[in-house]
Amino acid sequence: MFNRILIANRGEIALRIIRACRQMGIETVAVFSEGDRGNAYLDLADEAICIGPAKSAQSYLKIDQIISAAEVGNVEAIHPGYGFLAENSHFNEVCRSCKIDFIGPTPEAMDLLGDKNRARDIARKAKVPVVPGSDGLLSDEDEALKVAHDIGFPVLVKATAGGGGKGMRVAANDLVLKTAIQQAQSEAKAAFGNDGVYLEKYVERPRHVEVQVLADLHGNVVHLWERECSTQRRHQKLIEESPAPNLPQETREAMCKAAVRLIKSVDYTNAGTVEFIVDQENNFYFIEVNARIQVEHPVSEMVTGIDLIRAQISIAAGEPLPFTQSDIVQRGAAIECRINAEDPDRNFQPCPGLIKNMFTPGGMGVRFESHVYPGYVVPPHYDSMIGKLIVHQPTRSEAIACMLRALDELRIEGIKTTVPFHKKVLQHSEFVEGWVDTTFVERVILTK
Amino acid sequence: MAESESESGAGVFDESRFLRIVELMKEHDLAEVDLRDAEQRICIKRGGMAPSMGGQMAGFMPPAYMQPPPAAPPAAAPTAAPSAPADADDSNVVLIKSPMVGTFYTKPNPKAASYVKVGDHVEPETTICIIEAMKVFNEIPAEISGKVVAILVGDEEPVEFGKPLFKIDTTG
């Protein structure tokens, strides 16, 4: 087991990892930018090292500063959290070449799955259904037209190097297809430096359902069942839950088995998430793999009782998984609401600033994951998420009631947050009945 | 030295009293005495200060009203001195802070002399230290002109971004 780990991240996830390490008796080295100096959670680490000015590009994204801090801090491994360098295979490689373990998959596995077009090929080979689409990157417009007619309009033009919803365009017919391709290409070139695009059938009102997997270094791969993440705005998840409501059991099982098959086929290790879209007929199609721990991991932790961060660290230290697939059961229902420092009444405009006062919710089955406290100043330099509110109850309707109760108790004064938005969603009949898809928020909640 | 207001011999400016103060200063090795008596004040400084005091004694000594100076305050003054140089030149003393995370070295190699020592003058291109990060030895330039007033980090000490390394007096 490791003696000392560096957490190459900040805020909520850094605190989460520090907590797991403390419980395991592992010493921690935290890094922070000038923008995070004085943050209370840093005191929980054994050592905290300043790595640069507030801007992420000069601190949390600076590989040399982080590696240097790892050497100065004398650590054996680095946990990258999510975002920042978590899916940067170059950083992964640099860590390992400096004899520092990277708590995540190998750089090769990361690269293989990071290219979305290649990931589709891998899925096909592993007999995992993919969204009907082009066989590789589009070489020209004629090919695009042919594929579009084969699979049927509407189609989605997607960037192979894409992420976060960028480099995607919908085309409903021949006339707009050419423009859609050009727009997607320029956006992709600007955002990712790679204008390679491919075509997929555009699934109307899709559900976003993902499967959590864990794979150790001894060939054992398990899934921790699925998470429903359809409540999104601009491709950013807002509410996640497990199990996915109104999903037939055989679909659930087939999807989870497919995820494991895919992961095994590329020798992927540590934690990962296989994303699918589910159409209105409950057909599921592979989209991509997220080769990291995700924001919404607590939802899976609550229903399975498995500490995912702890599992990540143990796997990286070479320990075999202490459970088999049959040990992993979904119990009850869990929901997570991402609490962002944003004003839902002003188009979710970010609201950095001083948190004057705060009251955090509690009670049975309530978990609040946050690094903020009264007196904390939400900085403008990073993403707006200031906490995650998670509940776990025996049934989904009890979980909704519990979440509404907990959202009512959560008081954050001094800044605006998305709490009122979450309350609105959780009381809406479509959500209550479990019929959400990725168009739900924009179609129903925001049009009012 | 202020002019005496009266010839009467009373007050801080009495000559015999003044000579007695000087004697006491020599006897007890005091460098400075600052006397106040209502509207009158006299401040006497003795020359030949120990250079390690930074050429200046703390002006913080409380007025000594012709009492045998207690042993503590004079002894306390020299130890307070290391921070004293800041008081007179505060606005001109600048901190050089670390631009990176790494290990701080005062010399180019273990056998060589330090790049700089206290009292040295530096120019913007003067190398003042090395910070080693990921096996790369980065020579750090001063980037300002001035006199080295203090070196705040020890040889081979780990440093983080923003850690103060040197105090430079830009008037020096």
Q: How far is B52 from chain A (nearest CA, A)?
A: 34
Who among B100, B162, B163 is closest to A68 (CB)? B100
- Stretch A257-285: mean pLDDT, rounded? 96
Angle among Cα A28, A304, A400 to the nearest 5 degrees reads: 105
A10 labelled catalytic: no
CA distance B70 to B134: 55
* Dist CA A375 CA B53 (whole Å): 43
Cβ-contact A426, A399 below 8 angstroms: no
Q: What is the pLDDT of residue B55?
A: 35
Q: Work out the minimum CA distance from A286 to partner chain B, whole angstroms.
A: 40
Q: Which residue has the tokens 């004040």?
A: B41
Q: Given A103, A124, A156, which residue is the final one in a domain?
A: A103
Q: Decide if B152 contacts B168 (C-beta within 8 A).
A: no
Three-state DSSP state, A76: coil
Query: Do A294 and A331 have their domain in common?
Result: yes
Q: Is A58 on the interface with B (CB under 8 A)?
A: no
Inter-chain residue contact A50 with B160, CB threshold 8 Å: yes
Do A422 and A368 share a domain, yes or no?
yes
Query: Are residues A287 and A251 part of one domain?
Result: yes
| A311 shares its domain with A372 | yes
Q: Is the pLDDT of residue B81 over 80?
A: no
Interface contact A34, partner B, CB < 8 A: yes
Looking at the complex, report in whole angstroms how far the Cα of residue B157 sits from the nearest Cα belonging to chain A: 9
| A68 vs B134, B162, B163: nearest CB | B134
Contact A409/A49 with Cβ under 8 angstroms? Answer: no
Q: Give the count of domains, chain A.
A: 3
A50 touches chain B (CB under 8 A): yes
Residue B64 and residue B41: Cα distance in Å, rounded? 11
Residue A143: give its domain's CATH number: 3.30.1490.20
High-pLDDT (> 70) share of chain A, %? 99
Helix (H, G, I), strand (E, B) or coil at A302: helix
- Are the beta carbons of A233 and A436 closer than 8 angstroms? no
What lies within 8 Å, CB to CB, of A361 at 6+ separation is A368, A389, A405, A406, A407, A409, A410
Q: Which residues pair with A290 in a beta bridge?
A: A273
Q: Does A72 touch chain B (CB under 8 A)?
A: yes
A400 and A351 in a single domain? The answer is yes
Contacts of residues B16-24 at CB distance under 8 Å and 24 or more positions apart, as own/partner, are: B17/B66, B18/B42, B18/B44, B20/B66, B21/B66, B24/B68, B24/B69
pLDDT in tens, A146-157: 999 999 899 999
Given A292, A338, A367, A396, the catalytic residue:
A292
Select the residue of A53, A64, A73 nearest B133 (Cβ to Cβ): A64
Contacts for A287 with CB less than 8 Å, ≥ 6 apart: A131, A275, A276, A277
Instruction: List Cβ neighbours of B50 (8 Å cut-off, separation of 6 or more).
Output: none
Measuring CA to CA, how many Å separate A299 from each of A70, A249, B2? 31, 19, 81
Q: pLDDT-based confidence at B67, cuts 50/70/90?
A: very low
Q: Which residues contact A248 (CB under 8 A, 6 or more apart)?
A: A282
Hey, is the C-beta of A65 within 8 angstroms of any chain B C-beta? Answer: yes
Both tokens assigned to B127:
């190398």
pLDDT at A164: 62
How many residues would you count in chain B? 172
Mean of pLDDT values over A409-416: 97
Residue of B nearest to A47 (CA): B160
Does A264 reside within a domain? yes
Domain identity same for A195 and A215: no
Amino acid identity, residue A194?
N
Q: How many CB pairs under 8 A join A and B?
A: 42
Q: Is residue A117 part of a domain?
A: no
Give domain status of residue A273, yes or no: yes
* Residue in A34, A65, A98 nearest the CB of B100: A65
Eight-state DSSP code of residue B153: S
Q: Among A201, A221, A236, where does a domain finish?
A: A201
CA distance A261 to A259: 5
Check if A57 contacts B (Cβ < 8 Å). no
- pLDDT given at position A445: 82
DSSP helix/strand/coil, A130: strand
- pLDDT for position B83: 39
pLDDT of res. B11: 63
Residues in chain A with CB shorter than 8 Å from the CB of B159 are 72
Residues in chain A: 448
Q: For B108-130, give one letter per residue: b (16+ CB within 10 A) or e.
A: eeeeeeebbeeeeebeeebebbb
* Any domain includes A385: yes
CB B136 within 8 A of CB B144: no
Q: What is the CATH number of the domain that holds A46?
A: 3.40.50.20
Count the Cβ atoms, other than its own, within 10 Å of residue B24: 16
Please provide the distance, in angstroms rounded to a whole number, between the alpha carbons at the two ends of chain B: 29
Does a structural domain hold residue A47? yes
Q: Which residue of B has its CA nearest to A69?
A: B101
What is the sign, positive or negative, of the torsion defined by CA atoms of A304, A307, A313, A314?
negative
* Same domain membership, residue A222 and residue A332: yes
| pLDDT at position A189 | 85
Q: Tell me: the pLDDT tens digits for A207-218?
A: 999 999 999 999
Does the structure show a pLDDT above 80 at B38?
no
Is A108 a member of any domain? no
The complex scores an ipTM of 0.79
pLDDT, residue A165, reads: 67
- Name the fold adopted by B90-169: OB fold (Dihydrolipoamide Acetyltransferase, E2P) (2.40.50)
Residue A5 and residue A75 in contact, taking contact as beta carbons nearer than 8 Å = yes
- Please indicate whether, in this complex, the C-beta atoms of A59 and B133 are within 8 angstroms of each other: no
Domain assignment of residue A112, yes or no: no
As beta bridge partners, residue A366 has A391
Average pLDDT of every residue of chain A: 95
In a shared domain, residues A187 and A223? no
Does one domain contain both A159 and A49?
no
A361-375, A391-405, B74-88, B145-159, range with the lowest pLDDT: B74-88
Chain A neighbors of B102, CB-CB under 8 A:
68, 72
- CA A304, A305, A310, A316 torsion-angle sign: negative
Indicate whether B13 pLDDT > 90: no
- The rounded distance, in Å, linking the Cα atoms of A80 and A60 is 10
Out of A324-328, A342-346, A410-414, B52-56, pick the least confident.
Answer: B52-56
Does the pLDDT value for residue A70 go beyond 60?
A: yes
CA gap A281, A182 in Å, rounded: 32
| CA distance to A35, A59, A301, per residue, from B103 (Å) | 23, 18, 40
Q: Is residue A115 part of a domain?
A: no
Distance CA A39, CA A23 (A): 21
CB-side neighbour CA atoms (13 Å) of B139: 11
DSSP category for residue A133: B
Q: Among A85, A103, A121, where does a domain finish?
A: A103
Mutation site, A72, A78, A91, interface B, largest B CB count within 10 A: A72
The CA–CA distances, whole Å, from B19 to B14, B15, B16, B66 equal: 9, 6, 5, 12
Distance (Å, whole) CA A299 – CA A210 = 12
Q: Which of A270-279, B2-11, B18-27 has the lowest mean pLDDT?
A: B2-11
| pTM summary value | 0.80
Tell me if A50 and B101 make a contact (CB, 8 A cut-off): yes
**Rounded Cα–Cα distance for residues B78 and A160 (Å):** 69
Q: Which domain holds residue A187?
A: 132-201
| Gap between the Cα atoms of A321 and A312, Å rounded | 10
Shared domain for A336 and A375, answered yes or no, is: yes
pLDDT digits (tens, 9 = 90+) for B124-143: 999 999 999 988 999 999 99
State the sign of the Cα–Cα–Cα–Cα dihedral A87, A97, B102, B124: negative
Measure Cα distances from A421 to A110, A162, A448 in Å.
Answer: 35, 28, 12
- Do A252 and A196 reside in the same domain of the chain? no
The radius of gyration of chain A's CA atoms, rounded to the nearest angstrom, is 21
More confident residue, B20 or A377: A377
A136: left (phi over 0), alpha (psi -120 to 50) or beta: left
Q: How far is residue A84's CA from residue A69's CA, in Å, rounded to a whole number? A: 16
Read off the tokens for A398: 């009890």
**What are the structural domain ranges in chain B?**
15-83, 90-169
A61 touches chain B (CB under 8 A): no
DSSP bridge pairs for A5:
A28, A77
Say yes or no: A295 and A352 in one domain.
yes
Rounded distance between C-alpha atoms, residue B3 and residue A136, angstroms: 98
Give the pair of three-digit tokens for residue A297. 């991991």
**Strand order of the sheet with strand B93-97?**
B93-97, B164-169, B146-151, B121-122
